[in-house]
Amino acid sequence: MNHTSEYEFTIIVPVYNEQDNIDRLEKAFRQYLPAASRKSCVLFVDDGSTDDSLEGLRRICGRNSGFYYLAFLHNEGLSAALKAGIDHAESPLVGYLDADLQTRPEDFERLLPLTADHELVTGIRAGRKDSPFKRFQSKFANAFRRMMTHDGATDTGCPLKVMRTPAARRLPLFRGMHRFLPALILLQEGASYAEIPVPHYPRTAGVSKFHLWNRLIAPLMDCFAYRWMRKRAINYRVGQSNL
């Protein structure tokens, strides 16, 4: 039995070498899950960590209800971890939160009400607590992506999102997918997304896994891949069936 089927909302947390944040994650979710407006659980996805992250996840999942994990054999990347979480979640809604806790679980409450009208609801980081160079990279990358995709999204790098699970499962899998969620949702006929400002906090433990290549250069290259995909996207609706 997949325990996520017992919940309305599964929060996916990709984890890669975040051993110093495991106890903070436990504390954050122990506070949020009982107070959440939807019956919620958390699904940690260990992305082939080489430190003690997986051991820590086993520990906290063993002593908390509503805590689950799955672990990759090897490091596959953030998009693969997110897609694995989506594939294994059986709740009507899925969320995404980074393990660094620069966004917080309680702020899902700002997003969840909008899922009644939208397949995707994403945060916009307000008052970002990153360095000026990181903010410049994000601003440039977001502007280039909007020009290439016409998705109109403000801050696709915000690691706080909620999606309807059926729409999330139709997302095509490729490295860098997580940066294009609004654009990919819009490929689905009749789908829409909404944005809402959320607080942003400084990283207090662990180190960022992002650098110039995977924050700026690779996303710019992925924009061309998206344009190729947009022209070839398949959408259909079944009119009748005797299945």
pTM of the model: 0.83
- Kindly report, residue by residue over 195-238, the tens digit of the pLDDT: 999 998 877 775 655 544 555 567 677 777 777 777 777 676 77
Q: Which domains can be identified in the chain, with CATH numbers? A: 3-232 (3.90.550.10)
Residues β-bridged to residue 8? none
pLDDT at 210: 53
Residue with token string 């916009």: 124
Contacts of 95 (CB under 8 A, 6+ apart): 9, 10, 11, 12, 108, 111, 160, 161, 162, 163
pLDDT of 44 above 70: yes
Query: What is the pLDDT at residue 222?
Result: 77
* Region 81-104 average pLDDT: 96
* Sheet order of strands, 160-164 included: 67-71, 40-46, 9-15, 93-97, 160-164, 120-126, 193-199
Question: CA 41, CA 136: separation in Å to the nearest integer?
Answer: 35
Position 126 confidence tier, pLDDT thresholds 50, 70, 90: confident
pLDDT at 52 > cutoff 90:
yes
Residues in the chain: 243
Over residues 163-191, the mean pLDDT reads 88
